[in-house]
Amino acid sequence: MSETTPTDLGPAEGRHPMTGNALSGDARGGMERHTYDVVVIGAGGAGLRAAIAAHESGARTAIVCKSLLGKAHTVMAEGGIAAAMGNRWPEDNWEVHFRDTMRGGKMLNNWRMAQLHAQEAPERVQELEDWGALFDRTDDGLISQRDFGGHKYARLAHVGDRTGLEMIRTLQQRAVALGIDVFMECTVTDLFKDGDAIAGAFAYWRESGRFIVFDAPSVILATGGIGKSFKVTSNSWEYTGDGHALAMRAGASLINMEFVQFHPTGMVWPPSVKGLLVTESVRGDGGILKNSEGKRFMFDYIPEFFKAETADTVEEADAWYDDKKNNRRPPELLPRDEVARAINSEIKAGRGTPHGGIYLDIASRRTPEFIRKRLPSMYHQFKELADVDITAEPMEIGPTCHYVMGGVEVDADTQESAVTGLYAVGECSGGMHGSNRLGGNSLGDLLVFGKRAGEHASSYADSLGDRRPRVDEADVKAAQTSALAPFEVEGGENPYTIQSDLQQSMNDLVGIIRTRSELEESLSEIEAFKVRAQTMVVEGHRQYNPGWHLALDLRNMLIVSECIAKAALAREESRGGHTRDDFPGPDDEWGTKNLVVNLNEAGTGVDLHEKPLPEMPEELKGYFA
Amino acid sequence: MTSPGRAHIEARTLREDRWWLQPLTTFVVFSAFVVYATVRAFMGRDYYASPYLSPFYSPCLGDCVEGASDFGQPFGWWPLSAALIILIFPLGFRMTCYYYRKSYYRAFWLSPPACGVAEPHSAYSGETRFPLVLQNVHRYFWYAAVLVGLVLTYDVLLAFRPMPAEYAVGDGETSGVHMGLGTLLMIANVVFIWLYTLSCHSCRHVVGGRLRHFSKHPVRYRLWTWVSRLNTSHGRWAWYSLFSVALVDLYVFLLATGTIQDVRFF
Amino acid sequence: MSYTLKLRIWRGDKDGGAVEDFPVEVSEGEVVLDAIHRVQATQAGDLAVRWNCKAGKCGSCSAEVNGRPRLMCMCRLSDFEEDETITVTPMRTFPVIRDLVTDVSFNYEKAKELPSFAPPPRDADGKRRMAQVDVERGQEFRKCIECFLCQNVCHVVRDHEDNKEAFAGPRFFLRYAELDMHPLDTHDRRELAQGAAGLGMCNITKCCTEVCPEGIHITDNAIIPMKERVVDKKFDPLVWLGNKIGIRNKDNDGRTEV
C-alpha cells in the first residue's frame, strides 16, 4: 500500500518480535522511521477495533501502545456491553437504548453519537462472537443480557464479570490473525502536522529509550482516560490523558471536560487497592447499599427525574429482580452519578464504615453458589486482596474516579477532530455520553466508533493519493529535544512527588462535590505544579526508565487537569458527573450548551468557550415528550 | 536456566520453603510400595486365606491354591507366581496414569523436582519418543482396570462367604453370611479402587469429555460432570487405593501364615 | 502498623546483574508491588517494573517472589513474616530487558502460529446459537490473563532453552483446548497441537496449574483432555476403526484439518 522511503528501517520483517523495535539493542543513535496509512495510538478495545477496521478497509495499519498487547485498561471492564439485541426482552430496540443513553447523560449527549451507538452496537457484539468470543448464553442459546443501572431492559452482553477481558482478548486475537503491526511498550509524545493536516507521530520505545517517527496521514487516538490525575481511581498508570493532550497540542478541542464519572463502588480497604473497581453487576444481581446504621439509604435519594421508574418501597424493589414487568427498579440501580452522590452524602453525614466507605451487601441476599457463579472475579478480588468473603460478609465501598465523559470533540459519523486526519475514539473522545455515562455504554462505544474511525481514517488516507502530508524535519528535532528535556535539568524535583501532589490536589479540590473557592484554589495549585514540573529531574538513563516516562506523562496530566478544573469552575450548575455545592440543581440554560477547551496561543494554558449543543431532529425529540 | 539473555542468577532455585518434602515423601512411599509389591508378587504363596483373596493375585489364573481360582486356571502351566500373570494390568494402569506420571516424573526423575526448581537433566523430550510415547495407551489400561475392578468387586462378595469349618466359632458359622475385618478391608479397598478407576482422566474423556456438544448428549454430560467431580481428587484416590491394596494383601498374608486371626463381626 | 521490610530486588540487564537490598517502609494490607513502587518513588527512580491494573486482571506484573512465580500485585505482604526477607527476581525463562522486566516475545510469537477461530455462517436471523453448557469449558480457559507465569514455570522451556522452538507452552495448550471444545469451530487442530505446538513434550507435572493466578485447571481441564483428543486422532486403533465403520458418534464431524 504505502511506499517505503529510503530512511525506513524496514517494516515487520527484521523487527523485534514483541516490541516491534527495529534497532538492535546495541546500536547507538539513529532513529527509526516507519510509513503507514493509519497509526492507531492505544491498544484497548477502541484502538484494536479501529485498527481492525482500518486494516480490513485496506489501509496499512500500525498499533502503538504503551503496554504489552492485551494489557490495556479495557480488561478492567466487568459488567458488559450494552446493545439492544432483544435476546432477553424482545421489546428492546435501539430507540429505547437511545432514550436511556440520552437521559443518563442528562440530555447533554451528542444525539447523533448516541443514536449511532444504539443502532450499531448489536451488530458489533455479534461480530465479536464471529471472532471467537464466548458470551454467557440464554436458555435459547443466544447471547445473554444482564441488567445494569440506567438501562430500561436487561441489555448488557456479558461473560461473568470479566467482559472487558473477553473483549480485549477477542480483538487482540483478531488483530494478530490479520497480521496487523503492533508496536508495544512504545509511547507517542508528539503529533506532526503539515499545514492543517496530520503528517505523523513521534514516539519513544520504553525498552530502549530510542525514538521513532511514524509518517502517516491518519492518526487515531484511542488512549483512554485521565483517571491517574486523581488519587482515588480505578484507572491504571496508563490513564494520563495522553490522547487528550496530544489532540490539544495538535490544535483540536476538547468538550465536556468537567464531567468526570465517579463510580459509586470502589474498594476502600486495604489502602493499597483503594479505588479498585467493584462492578455494578453486584447491584444488578441483587446487592444493596447500607450505611453504618444498617439502613438501606438509597430510597432517600431518588431524584425527581427518575421517580416514575424507580421503586419507592423495599418490597417493590426486591420483587423487581424476579418480576421486572410489574415492578419498578430498585434505587441502587439509578445512574452512577446519583448513586455516587448518595454514598458521598452518607459518608459525609457520619454514617460511613470504619474505613470510610459504606456497605455493599450481597451476602445476605443471595446464596454463596449464586454469588460465586455470577461474580467470580469480585469474589476472587475481595478474597485475595482484602481477606473478605463476599458470600459471607458485606463489602466496604466508596466512590472512585472511573471515567471521563469529556474528550476530543469529534464529528459524530467519522470521529474526526477539528484537525484533518486526526481521529479520536473511546474514552478519549467526547460527546457520546453527555454529562454521565451509563454502565455498559463504554464497551459499546469502543466497538461502534472504533470501527467507524478505522474506516474513515482509512478512506481519508486512501483519498490522498500522492498528496500525503510530509513531516517537517525541524518538528522532529523539536520533538526529540522536548522528550529529552527532563534529563537536562539538574537539582530539580522527583516526578513521583509532583504526581502524587497533583493527585491529592485534584482529589480534594476537583473531586465528586465541587465549589467555586476550591476550584479556584485548584487552578492556582495547578499553575504551581506547572512551575515545579519545569524543573523535574530524572535519574538514570533512557533504557526502560519509569521515572523518565512519568516525567513525560506528567505534562499531559497537568494540562488535562487544568481543563477539568477550568470547565468545572465555569459550569455553574449540577448535572451528571459534575456536582457543584454552590449550584446544587441543574440549570436549563446550561443544559443547552457544551464547554469547549483549547490550548492557548502560547501553549502554556487552556482557553475555554461555550458552544450550543447540536440540535436534535424532531423525530428523535419525540422520544422525550 | 542460565541461558544467554536471561537474568543471570546462579542459584538453582530461590525457593526457601521445603519444596523437597513432597517429592521425597512420594519417593519413599512409592519405593516402599514397589519393594513390598515385588516381594509379595514373587512369593507365590500366602495369598489366599479363605474366603479372602489378595488383590495382587486376583483373578488367580495360574496354578493357584485351592479355592483361590474363581475363573478357572487357564495359565495352570505357568511356572512362576500367579500374580505375575495379571499384575501387569493394574501396574500398567497406574504407571500410565496421569496422576502417577506427575508424581514419579517429579519424585524419581526430578523432571522437575518441584515448581521453579531446575531439573538436573541437560536434554528433555517429554513424552514424544519411545518408550514414553507409550503413555498414550492409558485408556486401554483403563479398560482393563474396569475388568479388574469388577473382579475385585466379585471378590468382595465372596468375602462374605462363611468361614471354613476349622475357623468356625460357635453356631451358624458354617452357613449364611460372614463378615470379618478382612471383608471390611476389602470393601474399603474396592471402594477406593473404583473411585480411582472412575476418576481417571481417560474415563472422563471416554464418558463425555471428548464431545463438543454436551447439550446434544445430556446423559453423557451428566456422567461427565460426575466423573469430573471425582477427577478433582484423582490423586487422593490414587494414594488411598495404593494403601488399601497393600493393606488387604498384608492382612491376607498375616491370616494365611497364621500370624493373626480374622476379627469376626458375624 | 508499618514496619521496615527486608526487600531484595534483582537489578541488572542481559549483561549481568545482582540482587540488591532495598529496605523499605511498608504498611498493613500492602502487596509486594506496593513495596516495589515505594522503592521506585523514593530510592531508585529508574527501577524497571512492568505493571498495569494492580488488581490481578491484566497479568503484567509477573515476577518471582522468593523463587515462586507470582503476580506482584496479588502477593500480599501479610503472607510473610515481618522479619522475613523477600527476594524479587524477574521471570527466569525469558530474556531480561532490565531489572524486573523481561522480554516475553516468545509468547507473542507462539500466539501468531495458532490458527484462529473459524466459525460457520450465522443462523438465518443473523445470530448464533450455543448452549451454555457447551461454552463453559472454553470460558474457563478464556479467563486467562496472559501473565505467562505458566510459560515461565514450565520446566520444558525454563530448563531447556532449546525446546522453545518446538514447544508452545501451557498458555497455548489452553487455547488449543478452547478451540477444540468450541461448539462451532470448523477446524481440527489436533495434529497441529501434537506436532507444531509440542503437546507431547508436556509431562503433566502440573506446575502451570500450581502457579495460575486465575486458578484455571490448565492440566486437568485443558492439557490432559487435549492429549486424550490427540490419542483419538493418532494413537487409538479402536477409534480409527469406529470411525471407519461408522459406529462412533458424529459429534466431531464437519471439521477440517489445519
pLDDT (tens digit per residue) in A148-185 = 889 999 999 999 889 999 999 999 999 999 999 999 99
More confidently predicted of A28 and A398:
A398
| Number of structural domains found in chain C | 2
What average pLDDT does the segment A134-149 reach? Answer: 95
- Residue C122 above 50 pLDDT? yes
Q: Beta strand B52-53 with A38-41: parallel, antiparallel or unpaired?
A: unpaired
Decide if C198 and B128 are in contact by the 8 Å CB cutoff. yes
Of the residues C26, C57, C143, the best mutation for testing chain A's interface (the one with the most A CB atoms within 10 Å of its CB) is: C57
Q: CB contact, 8 Å: C102 with chain B?
A: yes
* Three-class secondary structure of residue C229 per DSSP: helix
In single-letter form, the type of residue at position C108 comes to Y
What average pLDDT does the segment A205-233 reach? Answer: 95
Q: What pLDDT is recorded for position A27?
A: 44
- Residue C247 above 90 pLDDT? no
- The question of whether A55 is a catalytic residue gets the answer no
Are residues C110 and C237 both part of a single domain? yes
Residue holding cell 487455547? C175
What average pLDDT does the segment A187-216 reach? Answer: 96
Give the residue numbers spanning the domain of C148: 105-257
Ordered by start, the domain boundaries in chain B are 21-121+136-256
Are residues C95 and C155 both part of a single domain? no
- Residue A393 above 90 pLDDT? yes
Are residues C222 and C238 both part of a single domain? yes
**Contact residues, chain C, for B211 at CB < 8 Å:** 249, 251-252
What average pLDDT does the segment C139-166 reach? Answer: 97
Decide if C116 and A173 are in contact by the 8 Å CB cutoff. yes
The overall average pLDDT reported for chain B is 93
Cβ-nearest to A269 among C29, C117, C179: C29
In single-letter form, the type of residue at position A113 comes to M
In single-letter form, the type of residue at position A378 comes to M
Residues 6+ apart with CB under 8 A from B236: none
* Grid cell for residue B219: 446423559
Question: Distances from the Cα of A5 to the Cαs of A2, A14, A32, A36, in angstroms?
Answer: 9, 16, 12, 11
- How large is the ipTM? 0.96
What average pLDDT does the segment C96-108 reach? Answer: 95
In the A/C pair of chains, how many CB contacts fall below 8 A? 184
* List of chains touching A (3+ CB pairs within 8 A): C
Q: What is the DSSP letter of A71?
A: -
Shortest CA gap C114–chain A (Å):
9
Task: Give the C-alpha separation, A62 to B60, whole Å.
Answer: 72
Q: What pLDDT is recorded for position B164?
A: 64
Q: What is the DSSP letter of A354?
A: T
Q: What pLDDT is recorded for position A82?
A: 97
pLDDT (tens digit per residue) in A23-44 = 444 444 568 999 999 999 999 9
Are residues C136 and C253 both part of a single domain? yes
Q: What pLDDT is recorded for position B171?
A: 52
- Residue A6 above 70 pLDDT? no
Report the CATH number that the domain containing residue C213 is assigned in CATH: 1.10.1060.10
Q: What pLDDT is recorded for position A19?
A: 58
- The question of whether A146 is a catalytic residue gets the answer no
- Residue C208 above 60 pLDDT? yes
**Nearest one of A164, A221, A171 to A191, comparing CA atoms:** A221
Q: What pLDDT is recorded for position A429?
A: 97
What average pLDDT does the segment A580-591 reach? Answer: 94
Q: What pLDDT is recorded for position A374?
A: 86
**Annotated catalytic residue, options A283, A328, A452, A468:** A283
**Nearest one of A605, A494, A555, A563 to A188, comparing CA atoms:** A555
Provide, rounded to the nearest whole percent, the portion of chain A with pLDDT above 90.
82
Task: Give the C-alpha separation, A221 to A64, whole Å.
Answer: 10
pLDDT (tens digit per residue) in A303-342 = 988 899 999 999 999 999 988 889 999 999 998 888 999 9
**Annotated catalytic residue, options A151, A263, A402, A452:** A263
What average pLDDT does the segment A262-277 reach? Answer: 90
Q: Per-residue pLDDT for chain B (266 aa), expressed as one digit of tens each?
A: 667 899 999 999 999 999 999 999 999 999 999 999 999 999 999 999 988 999 999 999 999 998 899 999 999 999 999 999 999 999 999 999 999 999 999 999 999 999 999 999 999 999 999 999 999 999 999 999 999 999 999 999 999 887 666 555 555 455 667 889 999 999 999 999 999 999 999 999 999 999 999 999 999 999 999 999 999 999 999 999 999 999 999 999 999 999 999 888 87
The domain boundary residue, chosen from C72, C102, C132? C102
Decide if B14 and C232 are in contact by the 8 Å CB cutoff. no
Decide if C225 and B204 are in contact by the 8 Å CB cutoff. yes
- Residue A611 above 70 pLDDT? yes
Residue A182 contacts residue A69 (beta carbons within 8 Å): yes
Q: How confident is the model at residue C24 (pLDDT cuts 50, 70, 90)?
A: very high
Are residues C34 and C135 both part of a single domain? no
- Residue A7 above 60 pLDDT? no
What average pLDDT does the segment A494-505 reach? Answer: 95
The domain boundary residue, chosen from C44, C74, C102? C102
Residue C223 contacts residue C173 (beta carbons within 8 Å): yes
Are residues C98 and C112 both part of a single domain? no
Report the CATH number that the domain containing residue C27 is assigned in CATH: 3.10.20.30
What average pLDDT does the segment A207-212 reach? Answer: 91
As beta bridge partners, residue C70 has C63
Task: Give the C-alpha separation, A449 to A455, whole Å.
Answer: 10
Q: What pLDDT is recorded for position A5?
A: 37
CA geometry: angle B240, B241, B244, nearest 5 deg: 90
In the B/C pair of chains, how many CB contacts fall below 8 A? 159
The overall average pLDDT reported for chain A is 92
Q: CB contact, 8 Å: C209 with chain B?
A: no
Provide, rounded to the nearest whole percent, the portion of chain A with pLDDT above 70.
95
Q: Which residue of A has its CA nearest to C142?
A: A166
Domains, chain A, ordered by start: 263-401 (3.90.700.10), 485-612 (1.20.58.100)
Q: Helices B181-198 and B218-231, interaxial angle, to 10°?
A: 120
The domain boundary residue, chosen from C86, C102, C118? C102
- Residue A591 above 50 pLDDT? yes
Are residues C61 and C118 both part of a single domain? no
Residue-by-residue DSSP string for A88-100:
S-TT--HHHHHHH
- Residue A466 above 60 pLDDT? yes
Shortest CA gap C102–chain A (Å):
10
Task: Give the C-alpha separation, A8 to A23, whole Å.
Answer: 11
Q: CB contact, 8 Å: A56 with chain C?
A: no
Q: What pLDDT is recorded for position A28?
A: 46
Provide, rounded to the nearest whole percent, the portion of chain B with pLDDT above 90.
86
Q: How confident is the model at residue A13 (pLDDT cuts 50, 70, 90)?
A: very low
* Grid cell for residue C51: 505493571
pLDDT (tens digit per residue) in B177-194 = 788 999 999 999 999 999
Q: What is the H or E stretch that residue C183 is in?
A: none
